[in-house]
Structure 1
Amino acid sequence: MQPSVSSTGAGAAPRTRLNAVTDAAPARRTYSYLGPAGTFTEAALEQVPEARGHEWRPVHNVGEALADVLDGRSDAAMIAIENSVEGGVTTTLDALATLPGLRIVGEYLVKVDFVLVAAPGTRIEDVTVVAAHPVAYAQCYGWLGEHIPAHQHVPAASNVASALGILDGSLPADAAIAAPGIVQHHELELLADGIGDNENAVTRFVLVARTVAPAPPTGADKTSLIVELPVDHAGALLELLEQFSTRGINLSLLQSRPIGDELGRYRFVLDADGHVQDERMADALLGIRRFSPRVVYLGSYPRADRRIVQYPERYADDVFVEARDWLRGLIAGEPEA
C-alpha cells in the first residue's frame, strides 16, 4: 500500500489516501431467547453487551433454544434456570443434563414483576376473567384476591401469550398478567403494575453456548455441575457434599432431579462458589469424579452479582500447591525441610 500524499502549498489538493483498506465488519452473531418480544428472557438478553446490535432469534421453548445452539443456528441461547420463588426450572435442568456439548458462559438476574394489561379502553372494574401463565398467576394470586376477588383464571402458554390472547380474541379473558416489557411492544391498557405478591422475586438466567474453555477466573465466579450418585447406599449424598465442604467450597444451589430410568434414582444439580481453575475447586472435582458414574460440567462463569467469593485462608490456592509439592517430595525421596 502506498503512503499518504499531502501538500501544504497554496492551492494544493486536499490530503488523500491511496488504496485505503477498510476494516472488515465484525461477524454477525445470533442469540436465541424465549420470545416473542416483551418476555423476561428478552430483558435478560438486554443485559449482554456483546449481544447488542446482533440478531435475536425468538423461540417457543428451552429445547428449541438449545437445539439452535447445538445445530449452529445460534451462537448462544438465553434461558431461565432458577426462580427465587419457584426454585429451579426443571425443563432447563433436565435439558442441560441430557444434551451434551453445552456450556454456561454467563448468568444474569432479572427482577420478576408483573403488570395487569387489557385491550385499550378497558377498566379494572370491567375485569372478571384473567389470562395468565400458571406460574405468573400463582405469584400474583394474593393481589388478584384483594383487588379482583371474584375473578376467574384462564391459563395461557406464556406471559406474552396471555397478553396477545386478549388482543386477538383467542383467549376468553378481559385482562392478562404479563411482564412489564409487553407495553413497549403492543398497544395495551395498563390497568395495574407491581402486582406480584413477592417484591423480592428474581429469576436467574444463563447464557449457554457450545462447549468452550472457561474464561479465566475473576474471583467472583460460580461453577455449575450435574452429578449422578453411584448405586444408592447410606451416606452417598453426604460423600458428594463432603467433596465441597472439606475444601471450603460453598454451594448456592443443590437440587435433585429424577434420572428417569427407575424409581429412587436421582441426579443432583449444584452451583458451587468458585472457578474450575481454583485449586480447591479442581481438587473437589477430582474427588467427585472418583466415585460418581457421571459428572456433567456445565461451566465456570462470573457471578451475576459480581460478589467476590470468600473462603478460609487454609483453602487458598498456594496451600493446595504446597501440599502437592510436599507429597511429590516424599515420593521422590527428597529430605524434608
Structure 2
Amino acid sequence: MGYPNKRLGFLGPEGTFTEEALLSQKDLLGFELIPFITIDSVLDALNSGAIDLGFVPIENSIEGTVSATIDSLVFDYDLTIVREVILDIHLQLLGLRGATLSDIKEIWSYPHALGQCRKFTANNLPNAVTNASTSTAEAAKMVALKNDGAIGAIAPRVSGKIYDLSVIAENIEDHKGNQTRFFLVQKDGIPPSTGHDKTALVCFQLSDTPGSLFSILAEFYARTVNLIKLESRPSKEGLGDYCFVIELEGHVSDPIVTDALMSLKRKLPEIKFLGSFPNMTDPKGLPLESDASDPSRIWINKIIDRIQGSF
C-alpha cells in the first residue's frame, strides 16, 4: 500500500541497521524513504514538516541509550513515539578485498558499534586506532572511497555488499544477544490502545531533595503499574540536576495509567508525554475517579484526544 506524497526519514546512508529495521516494517514501505546523515537531522526534518515520519535508533542492549535520540526527544522537539522495532544486531569487520586482519591499522564505525565490539578489537587489534563515523554504513562507504587496505569498518554485512567490501571477521559483537531498539516518531497523533502497550514520559523534579524520586515511583506502585525502564538524564539546567525518563506498561487511555499521569501532573513542575505505542505486555490495575474540571484531567484529556487510527 502506497502513501502518496508521504515521506519517511531515517538514519542513513543506505545499508545502516536503521534501514534494515525499517525495511522489516512492511506497512511503511509505501512511504518515500529518505536517508539522513545524522539522528538530529532526521528529527529536525520531522519537526519542520519536511517529512511525515522519522525512524531512529534509541537503545542497544550492550551500549545502552542512544543519547542523541533521547536528549532530542526530551529537550529539543515535541514529537510523539508511535512504534518501537527491535532488531538482532550482528557486526562484521569489513575491508578491501584481499585485506586480512593483520593488515588493519585503523577502524571506523558508529560509536555504539565500536563499543559493542570493544573486546574483539582489544584482543585482536590492540594497536588499531578507532574513529567515530556518523553511522556504520557511512564507515563502510568511507573505507571503499579511501581504497586503503589498512582501514576497516565495523558495519552490517549488507554494507559490505553495497560498497564491495569483504568480511574480514564476522559476528564480532562482544555479546551474542546484541539487539537494538528503534523508534518510529511523528509530529502528533497517538496510536489507539491495542491492550498490549507501553507509555513513555519524562518527569522533571522541583528540586533535588530526598524522596523526590520515591514520590514519583510511588504513584505507579500505588496503582500496580509496572515500570519497564527508568533512566535519569541531565536536565541541562546545572550539574547534578536530573530528570527521569520512564517507560511503563499500559496506554495513556487506560484508566489506571491516566490516573497515575494526572497525579504526577499535579505534583511535578513539568511532565512531558513522549508517546504510547504497541508492546507485548498487559497493563494491570484499577481506575480511580477524578473531577472533570481538575487541571490534570484537562491535560490528560488533551493527550487522549490526539489518539488516531492511522498515519
| TM-score (ref. length: structure 1) | 0.80
Q: 1:18 aligns to what?
A: none
Q: 1:178 aligns to what?
A: 155
Q: 2:89 aligns to what?
A: 112
Q: Judging changes above 3 Å, is the alpha-carbon distance between structure 1 residues 202 and 108 closer, same or farther for their aligned structure 2 residues?
A: same
Equivalent-residue separation in structure 1 for 2:230 and 2:145 (angstroms): 42
Does the 8 Å contact 1:129/1:173 carry over to 2?
A: yes
Aligned partner (choices 270, 279, 289) of residue 294 of structure 1: 270
Q: 1:333 aligns to what?
A: none
Q: 1:13 aligns to what?
A: none
Q: Percent identity between the aligned chains?
A: 31
Does the 8 Å contact 1:33/1:79 carry over to 2?
A: yes
Structure 2 portions without partners, runs of 5+: 292-311
Q: Judging changes above 3 Å, is the alpha-carbon distance between structure 1 residues 85 and 217 closer, same or farther for their aligned structure 2 residues?
A: same
Aligned partner (choices 199, 221, 227) of residue 251 of structure 1: 227
* TM superposition shift of 1:141: 2.3
Q: 2:208 aligns to what?
A: 232
Instruction: Return the letter of the residue paired with 1:69.
Output: L
Q: 2:75 aligns to what?
A: 98
Residue 33 of structure 2 corresponds to residue 60 of structure 1: no
Instruction: Return the letter of the residue paired with 1:256.
Output: S
Q: Judging changes above 3 Å, is the alpha-carbon distance between structure 1 residues 146 and 221 closer, same or farther for their aligned structure 2 residues?
A: same
Q: 1:328 aligns to what?
A: none
Q: Judging changes above 3 Å, is the alpha-carbon distance between structure 1 residues 99 and 138 closer, same or farther for their aligned structure 2 residues?
A: closer
Q: Judging changes above 3 Å, is the alpha-carbon distance between structure 1 residues 297 and 171 closer, same or farther for their aligned structure 2 residues?
A: farther
Equivalent-residue separation in structure 1 for 2:231 and 2:272 (angstroms): 14
In the TM superposition, 1:24-39 aligns within 5 A as 26-39=3-16
* TM superposition shift of 1:291: 0.9
Q: Alignment partner of 1:67: what SS?
A: helix
Q: Alignment partner of 2:244: what SS?
A: strand
* TM superposition shift of 1:248: 0.9
Instruction: Return the letter of the residue paired with 1:206.
Output: F
Aligned partner (choices 234, 253, 257) of residue 281 of structure 1: 257
Equivalent-residue separation in structure 2 for 1:26 and 1:35 (angstroms): 21
* TM superposition shift of 1:245: 1.1
Superimposed CA distance per residue, residues 215-245 of structure 1 (whole angstroms, 9 cap, x where no aligned partner): 2211210000011011332211100011111
Aligned partner (choices 101, 110, 118) of residue 133 of structure 1: 110
Equivalent-residue separation in structure 2 for 1:148 and 1:260 (angstroms): 37
Structure 1 portions without partners, runs of 5+: 1-24, 326-337
Q: 2:243 aligns to what?
A: 267
Does the 8 Å contact 2:12/2:135 carry over to 1?
A: no
Q: Which has the larger radius of gyration?
A: 1
Residues 130-139 or 237-246, more deviating: 130-139
Instruction: Return the letter of the residue paired with 2:157.
Output: P
Q: 1:308 aligns to what?
A: 281
Equivalent-residue separation in structure 1 for 2:74 and 2:129 (angstroms): 38
Over the residues paired in the alignment, what is the CA RMSD in angstroms?
A: 2.2
Instruction: Return the letter of the residue paired with 1:60.
Output: I
Aligned residues: 290
Equivalent-residue separation in structure 2 for 1:184 and 1:241 (angstroms): 48
* TM superposition shift of 1:172: 8.5
Residue 187 of structure 2 corresponds to residue 196 of structure 1: no
Instruction: Return the letter of the residue paired with 2:244.
Output: F
In the TM superposition, 1:147-166 aligns within 5 A as 147-166=124-143
Instruction: Return the letter of the residue paired with 2:96.
Output: A
Equivalent-residue separation in structure 2 for 1:135 and 1:26 (angstroms): 33
Equivalent-residue separation in structure 1 for 2:110 and 2:103 (angstroms): 21
Equivalent-residue separation in structure 2 for 1:154 and 1:117 (angstroms): 14
Q: Alignment partner of 1:105: what SS?
A: strand
Q: Judging changes above 3 Å, is the alpha-carbon distance between structure 1 residues 77 and 199 closer, same or farther for their aligned structure 2 residues?
A: same
Equivalent-residue separation in structure 2 for 1:93 and 1:216 (angstroms): 23
